[in-house]
Structure 1
Amino acid sequence: MSGLRVVPAHRHGRDRLYVCRPDGGNIAWYDRDAGRVDLLVEDEREQVLEALKPFLSGPVTVGPPPVPTPAELARLSLHPDDDLAPNRPGEALLIALDRDPGAGHRLRPDPRRRALLAERTVGDTLDGLEGAGWHTLHSLPLPGGDRVHHLLIGPGGLFAVHALYARRARVRVADPMVTVGRHAPEPLLRLLRTRADRAAYALTAEVRPVLALTDPAGVTLTAAARGVRILSAAELTGLARLGGVLKPGDVEALHAMARDRRTWEKV
Structure 2
Amino acid sequence: RPELPALTPATDLSTRRPGTALRVQLGESGAGTLVRAATGALRRQKEPDPRRTALSGERRVGAELKRLTRHGWRVLHSVPLSDGTEIGHLLIGPGGVFAVHAEHHPQASVRIEDGTVRFGDGEPQPYALDDRFGAGRARRVLEAYCTFAVPVGTVLVFTGVTALDVVTTPPDVRVLKERQVSSLAPLSGALTPTQVERVYDVARNQEAWAGA
TM-score > 0.5, shorter chain as reference: yes
Which of the pair has the greater relative contact order for Cα pairs under 8 Å at 6+ separation?
Answer: 2
Please name the residue that 1:28 is paired with.
Answer: none
**Which ranges in structure 1 are unaligned for 5 or more consecutive residues?**
1-73
Q: Distance in 2 between matches of 1:191 and 1:156?
A: 19
1:241–1:180 Cα change, 3 Å:
same
> Is the contact made by 2:131 and 2:154 (CA closer than 8 Å) also made in structure 1?
no
Count the aligned residue pairs. Answer: 190
Larger Rg: 1
Letter in 1 for 2:75: T
Quick check: 1:250 aligned with 2:195? yes
Letter in 2 for 1:81: A
Please name the residue that 1:126 is paired with.
Answer: 65
> Is the contact made by 1:178 and 1:189 (CA closer than 8 Å) also made in structure 2?
no
Q: Distance in 2 between matches of 1:173 and 1:256?
A: 35
Please name the residue that 1:178 is paired with.
Answer: 117
Please name the residue that 1:237 is paired with.
Answer: 182
**Which ranges in structure 2 are unaligned for 5 or more consecutive residues?**
144-149
Q: Distance in 2 between matches of 1:175 and 1:79?
A: 44
CA deviation map 1:61-95 (0-9, x unaligned): xxxxxxxxxxxxx89x4111111000011111111
**Structure-to-structure mapping, 1:142-157, within 5 angstroms:** 142-157=81-96
Q: Which of the two has greater strand per residue?
A: 1
Letter in 1 for 2:16: N
Determine what percentage of the aligned residue pairs are the same residue: 39
* Aligned with residue 93 of structure 1, among 2, 9, 22: 22
> Is the contact made by 1:157 and 1:207 (CA closer than 8 Å) also made in structure 2?
yes
> Is the contact made by 1:169 and 1:217 (CA closer than 8 Å) also made in structure 2?
yes
Quick check: 1:141 aligned with 2:70? no
CA deviation map 1:118-150 (0-9, x unaligned): 110000111111121110000001121211100
1:78–1:190 Cα change, 3 Å:
same
Q: Distance in 2 between matches of 1:180 and 1:109?
A: 20
Quick check: 1:220 aligned with 2:191? no
Letter in 2 for 1:233: E
Q: Distance in 1 between matches of 2:155 and 2:14?
A: 20
CA deviation map 1:140-194 (0-9, x unaligned): 01121211100000011101100110221011223433344559835252453x5
Letter in 2 for 1:253: R
Q: Distance in 1 between matches of 2:45 and 2:60?
A: 23
1:168–1:212 Cα change, 3 Å:
same
> Is the contact made by 2:103 and 2:159 (CA closer than 8 Å) also made in structure 1?
yes
* Aligned with residue 83 of structure 1, among 12, 16, 28: 12
Letter in 2 for 1:96: Q
> Is the contact made by 2:141 and 2:208 (CA closer than 8 Å) also made in structure 1?
yes
CA deviation map 1:23-70 (0-9, x unaligned): xxxxxxxxxxxxxxxxxxxxxxxxxxxxxxxxxxxxxxxxxxxxxxxx
Aligned CA RMSD, in angstroms, stands at 2.3
Q: Distance in 1 between matches of 2:130 and 2:67?
A: 28
- TM-score, normalising length from structure 2? 0.81
